[in-house]
Structure 1
Amino acid sequence: MTQKRAVVLVSGGLDSTTVVAMAQAQGYEVYALSFDYGQRHRAELHAAERTAKAMKVAMHKVVQLDLRTIGGSALTDNDIDVPEQESEGIPVTYVPARNTVFLSIALGWAEVLGSLDIFIGVNAVDYSGYPDCRPEFIAAYEAMANLATKAGVEGRQLRIHTPLIDLSKADIVKRGTELGVDYRLTVSCYQATESGAACGKCDSCRLRRAGFEAAGLPDATIYS
């Protein structure tokens, strides 16, 4: 029997790497999809390449976009500083429409591959206030995907899987550790050095560190 295929969005960070392991544990052949979208640093792309290779995915594709042309985020505009203190509301690290764009390309690739399954590591517990990480967004996108594609029109149900949506960062770390994820290969920091060393101060670093602490597991993250 042919193994079922899944497109998994992979950033090189802790969450998406855990999702790769979870999809593989469910019997999917993983086609990893990353984006070189003009983000502040390339360390996460190098991490995505490392993890994809280590986890023996079927294919790892990197799509080039240039979201710097619209800016509007600390991750795509060097004139906007990455905050190192907690803030209320939607943070400046939110990249406008990023998950909408990424999922659209994932949807196209899934159709080409004959896959009906897309995995994304969005999280509604430790989601940092990003509107495109909410369950409502995913449900709406899945409904749209089944209206907008050949597969959907032909009655083959496309699914957007969000296995981390209700998990705390500690739960994610525990689950990934159980599945053998090597978190030393991952980079989560919004302003990592070229070598991948984390700042330890940004929102993503704080959530990651707190997750390991709450899970009672050692954090092998290298900090600058």
Structure 2
Amino acid sequence: MLKNEKAIVVFSGGQDSTTCLFWALKTFKEVEAVTFDYQQRHRKEIECAKAIAQELHVKHHLLDMQLLNQLAPNALTRDQIEITNEEDGELPSTFVPGRNLLFFSFAAVLASQVNAKHIITGVSETDFSGYPDCRDAFIKSLNVSINLSMDKQFVIHTPLMWLDKEETWKLADELHVLDYIRDKTLTCYEGIIGDGCGDCPACQLRNKGLEKYLTTRKGGEA
């Protein structure tokens, strides 16, 4: 049973990964979290992840991935690059090439060191902003490759893969942490905790999903 096993959550302190952290805490006997420092645009992401992990008494690992910043200039690693959505078949300016490939690979190495079989990530193909490394096919392929490369039987879990943002808020509510997720997580590209700036693509996606969920929620109250 999963309740007797250990898991690693790839954790950014955002809505999705924090929802997955609560899901993991309910699903597994022991849970640790790993956050990656790639000199991202808003350093508050790391501070937020640390604070949440500490509050939830989850062992937290911070891994240095600054080489990714050097290799992958984009809107999340360069202040001078404008944040834009997917346009004319081009990937959004916030796409970081190789990020999830590296993150999940290093998470697996860490999992091996701490004797964890399960790796959890909050990627979603339903609301994936056009990122190819959030697709189910990629996750399944990487899971096989990691297992072959390390001769292990890791399982990469994607609890949000087929959920849109409205359904992700519903899951948080079912886990009894909707208010916690709303108030203490950082999704905003401008680094504003909670409901964020309201204007960037991440805030628009998050807030639209919340509004839709609260409209259909019994009582319709925020």
TM-score by length of 2: 0.88
Partner-residue secondary structure (3-state), 1:207 = helix
- Deviating more after overlay: 26-35 vs 197-206: 197-206
Give the Cα–Cα distance (whole angstroms) in 1 for the partners of residues 221 and 87 of structure 2.
Answer: 25
Deviation at 1:145, TM superposition (A): 1.1
The correspondence of residues 1-224 of structure 1 with structure 2, limited to 5 A, is 3-57=4-58, 59-66=59-66, 67-83=68-84, 87-89=87-89, 90-150=91-151, 152=152, 157-181=153-177, 182-183=180-181, 184-193=183-192, 198-216=196-214
> Which letter maps to 1:191?
E
Partner-residue secondary structure (3-state), 2:74 = coil
Q: Is the 8 A contact 1:71 1:77 kept in 2?
A: no
Q: Is the 8 A contact 1:38 1:68 kept in 2?
A: yes
Q: Is the 8 A contact 1:7 1:32 kept in 2?
A: yes
> Which letter maps to 1:64?
D
Q: Is the 8 A contact 1:9 1:34 kept in 2?
A: yes
Partner-residue secondary structure (3-state), 1:163 = coil
Give the Cα–Cα distance (whole angstroms) in 1 for the partners of residues 11 and 43 of structure 2.
Answer: 14
Q: 1:210 to 1:95 in 2, by over 3 A?
A: same
Give the Cα–Cα distance (whole angstroms) in 1 for the partners of residues 87 and 14 of structure 2.
Answer: 22
Higher relative contact order (CA 8 A, sep 6+): 1
Partner-residue secondary structure (3-state), 1:33 = strand
Q: Is the 8 A contact 2:184 2:194 kept in 1?
A: no
Q: 1:23 to 1:80 in 2, by over 3 A?
A: same
Q: Per-residue displacement from partner, 1:69-124 (whole Å, max 9, x unpaired)?
A: 123310012221113x6645320100010001101110001101111110010000
Q: Which runs of 5 or more structure 2 residues have no equivalent in the other structure? A: none
Give the Cα–Cα distance (whole angstroms) in 2 for the partners of residues 127 and 219 of structure 1.
Answer: 27
Which one has a larger percent helix, Structure 1 or Structure 2? 2
Q: Which runs of 5 or more structure 1 residues have no equivalent in the other structure? A: none
After the TM superposition, which segments of 4 or more aligned residues of structure 1 sit over 6 Å from their partners? Answer: 217-220
Percent identical residues:
39
TM-score by length of 1: 0.87
Partner-residue secondary structure (3-state), 2:198 = coil
> Which letter maps to 1:17?
T
Report how many aligned residue pairs link the two structures. Answer: 212
Q: Per-residue displacement from partner, 1:131-169 (whole Å, max 9, x unpaired)?
A: 00000100110110110114x2xxxx2111001000111
Q: Is the 8 A contact 2:147 2:154 kept in 1?
A: yes
Q: Is the 8 A contact 1:120 1:162 kept in 2?
A: yes
Q: Is the 8 A contact 2:12 2:46 kept in 1?
A: yes
